[in-house]
Amino acid sequence: ARTTTTIESKTNMMAAAPARTLLRATATPLHIGGRTSVWTTRIETPDGKLVSVTTQTQMVL
């Protein structure tokens, strides 16, 4: 395992989720380089309603 730090993080909130709803988070790499990686994470309700999208850039230390 390698240690990383966040260079940039942006989250867009699309909708509220009802209390006590089990949510699903799916992280997908958009770019994996030697020193940096860019990821997008989608959070959805069980019926597929989009709650939020986060894009992060990570740097390997």
Tens place of pLDDT for every residue, the chain, 61 residues? 889 999 999 999 999 999 999 999 999 999 999 999 999 999 999 999 999 999 999 999 9
Determine phi and psi for 40, rounding to 5 degrees: -120, 135
Question: pLDDT value at position 47?
Answer: 94
CB-CB contact of 58 with 5 (8 Å): yes
How many domains are contained in the chain? 1
pLDDT at 2: 87
CB distance 37 to 57 below 8 Å? yes
Within 8 A by CB and 6+ apart from 56, the residues are 6, 8, 9, 10, 38, 39, 40, 41
Q: Which domain holds residue 37?
A: 4-60
Q: The domain that contains 17 carries what CATH number? A: 3.10.129.10
